[in-house]
Amino acid sequence: MSSEFIARIPYKTNHTSSFRFIISHIARHPVVGMIMVIGAFSNAALAAAVPYFIGLAFNAVIAGSTIEGIVGFVFAIIASQLLRGVLQLGRNFSSEIFAQRIERDVRDELYASLLGKSMTFHDMQPVGEIMARVTNDVREMNLMMNPGMNLIIGSGFFLLAPLVAAPAIYPSLILTPIIFLTLYFITQYRFITTLHPIAEKVRASFGHMNASLAETIDGLQVVKGAAKEEQEIAEFNHLADTVASYFIRQGRIEARYLPFLLLGLATVGGFIHSIILYQAGEIDAGKIIAFMGQLFMLQFPVYSSLRSLSQVALGFASAARILKIITIETDLDQNESGYKQPMRGAITFKNVTFGYTDGNPVIHDVSFTVQPGQTVAIVGQTGSGKTTLTKLVNRIYDVDSGEVLVDGINVKDWNLAALRSQISIIEQDIFLFSRSIADNIAFAKPDMSPAEIEAVANKAQAHDFISTFPEGYETVVGQRGVTLSGGQRQRLAIARAFLTDPPILVLDDSTSAIDSATEDRIQQAIWAASKGRTTILITHRLSQIRWADHIVVMRQGRVVAQGNHEDLLQTSDAYRRIFARYEMPEKSEHILES
C-alpha cells in the first residue's frame, strides 16, 4: 500500500473485507479466545445440569425418598454451579482482555495509517470525522467483542443444550427445540439484514456530528466574534436530531424483535407436548420438569441476542468505516530504498506545474535555481503561490508536471524521511503542541539536553521571555500555543528549526508577528543560522528581501522576474510595484517606533 510512513507493526491484518479484517484481529489472540469459548461451553453445559438434577430430585420426592436420598442431588447442583462460577470468571476476564487488546491493536493500526497519509488526503478529511473513527468507531469494535461476541458465543451453546438434552429425556421432545431454532435463525437473519444499514447510518451520522462539533470548537473565536452562537447551536441540534432519529429507527427495529414471541410459543408448545407424553405414560413428572428447564435455557440467548446482535451490527459498521480509511492509498510513498545522502542544499525548480485539485493548477511552469548556501527571497502578492512552492521541496505535495531537484536528485527519488529530516520549514501559522516549551523546541530531537535547548532559544531570542514564566522551559503551552503571543510562538518555532541544524531552511513570513526591535535581534540570529545553508525566504520585510542573494518574483502562480535587488529595481515593473507596496508599511513602522 502506498504510504508516506509505514509503522513497524509486528503483525499483519487482512484488508480485503470488513469480515476478514475483524477475523484477522481475532486470530491474533488465540489463547484468550479459546478460554472464552471453553468458558461459554462450560456455562451452558453446567447450566443444563441444574434442571436435570432437579428432575431427578422431584422424582425422588414423589417416590417417598428421605432427605438423605435428596441431599446428593443438592450437593451435585451446588458443586456444578461453583465450578460454573469459577469457569465464568475466567471467561469474562479473558473476554475483556480479548476486547481491549483488539481495540488497542485496531487503534494503533489506524493511527499509524493516518500518519502515513498524504496532506492531500488530510486536506479533504474533516478532523472531527477522523476523530470519530479513531475514538468511537474503534470503541464500538471493542464492544462488538465484549459483550457482543461474548454473548453470541455463550448464547449459541445455550441454544445447543436443549437439542442435546431433549432427546435424552425422550426422543420426540426434540421437535420443539428444532422448530424453535429453525424459526429463530430465520428471524435473526431478517433482523440483522434490516438492522445493518441503519447501524451504518448511525455511525456515519455520528461522524458528521462530531466533525461539525470539532470545526465549531476550532473556530470558536470566529463564532463569538460574529455573535453566531445561536446559528451554530441550531446547526448542531439539527445534526444531533439526525443521529437521534437513526437511533430511534434502530430502536423500532429492536422493538419488533420476533424471537421474544417465538420463545413464548416454544415454551407453551413444549409444555403441551410433554403433558401429552405424560398422560400417555411415556415420561414421568421429573422428566417434564427437566425438559421445561431445558426450554427455559432458551431465554438467555433470546434476551441477550437483542443487545449482542445490535452491538455486533454497530461494530461491523465501525470496522467498515475504519477499514475504508486504512485502505485509502496516499499519493506519496516513503521510497525507503531512495537516496539518503547528506544534503548540500542545491534546489532546482524545472518547469514545475502543480494544483491542489485536478485541472486547477496554482503553479504554472515555474523554473529557478538555488545554489548551496544561497539565500533566496520569494515575493509576490497574496495567493501568488509562494508558500505552495516550499511545500513541493520536501514533498508535502508532489508536482503535477516538471521536476523539483535537491542536489540534482529528483525529490521523488529521495528517501522521504531523509529528505524531510534535512529541511526545516518555519511557517507563518505556527503550530505548537500542548506540551512543555522544552518539548516543543526539542520536538525533532527529543534527546537534546536542557543546555542545548537553552542555547538555541537564546539564538532565537526566546530565552528572555521563557525565563519570565514561573516554570521556565517546563511551562506547558495551551493547545496550538494559544497561551503565547504570536511573536513568542514564532520565536519558539525558530528555535525548533535551529536545533535540527538543517541544510535547507525555509522561512515562510516567519517574523510577521514580531515587532521591529525583536526582529532586529532575530535577524542577526537568522543571518548566523543561514551561513553555510540554503535559505528560502517568503517575506514582505524589506530588510530581509534586500540581503537575499537571489529574488524570485511571483504573480498568479508564475515567475515574472528573478535576479538580485538592484537588477530587479531596474528591470522589473512587477518587483518595483511590490517593493513600493512593502516599503510603505515598513516606513510607517519606523515612524511609530521613533
* pLDDT 10s digits, 244-279: 999 999 999 988 899 999 999 999 999 999 999 999
544: pLDDT strictly greater than 80:
no
pLDDT digits (tens, 9 = 90+) for 525-539: 666 666 778 999 888
Distance of CA 262 to the CA centre of its chain: 42
Q: What is the pLDDT of residue 214?
A: 82
Looking at the predicted structure, is the pLDDT value of residue 589 above 50? no
Q: Percent of the chain scored above 90 by pLDDT?
A: 42
Whether 2 and 107 have beta carbons less than 8 Å apart is answered as no
The torsion region of residue 143 among left (phi > 0), alpha (psi -120 to 50) and beta comes to: alpha
| pLDDT grade for 587, boundaries at 50, 70 and 90 | very low
Question: Which whole-number Å values give the CA distances from 420 to 265, 410, 417, in the listed order?
Answer: 69, 14, 5
User: pLDDT, tens digit, for every residue of 30-70?
Assistant: 888 888 889 999 999 999 899 989 888 888 888 887 787 78
**Mean pLDDT, to the nearest integer, of 118-130?**
82
Is residue 443 domain-resident? no
Q: What is the 3-state secondary structure (H, E, C) of 533-557?
A: CEEEEECCCHHHHHCCCEEEEEECC
pLDDT in the model for residue 70: 85
- Tens digits of residue pLDDT in 379-410: 988 888 998 999 999 998 999 999 999 999 99
- Does the N-terminal peptide bond of residue 147 adopt cis geometry, omega within 30 degrees of 0? yes
**Residue 489 covered by a domain:** no
CA R_g for the chain: 35
Do residues 426 and 506 make contact, with C-beta atoms less than 8 angstroms apart?
yes
Mean pLDDT for all residues in the chain: 86
**Predicted pLDDT of residue 591:** 34
pLDDT digits (tens, 9 = 90+) for 149-167: 999 999 899 999 899 999 9
Q: Which domain holds residue 228?
A: 18-326
- Write out the three cell numbers for 46: 453446567
Question: In the prediction, which pLDDT does 438 show?
Answer: 92
SS3 376: strand
> Looking at the domain assignment, is residue 154 inside a domain?
yes
Assigned C-alpha cell, 217: 470548537
Domain count, the chain: 1
The model carries a pTM of 0.75
Q: Read off the pLDDT of each residue in 562-583 and give the average, rounded to a whole number.
A: 81
**Is pLDDT above 60 for 585?**
no
pLDDT at residue 272 in the model = 95
pLDDT at 518 over 80: no
Distance CA 42, CA 85 (A): 10
Question: Is 392 part of a structural domain of the chain?
Answer: no
Greater model confidence, 332 or 148: 148
**Does residue 342 lie within any of the structural domains?**
no
Q: What is the 3-state secondary structure (H, E, C) of 61-130?
A: HHCCCCHHHHHHHHHHHHHHHHHHHHHHHHHHHHHHHHHHHHHHHHHHHHHHHHHHCCHHHHHCCCHHHH
Of 100, 99, 109, 97, the closest CA to residue 133 belongs to 109
Question: Per residue in 286-334, pLDDT tens?
Answer: 999 999 999 999 999 999 988 898 899 889 999 999 999 988 877 778 8
**Domain holding 151: CATH number?**
1.20.1560.10
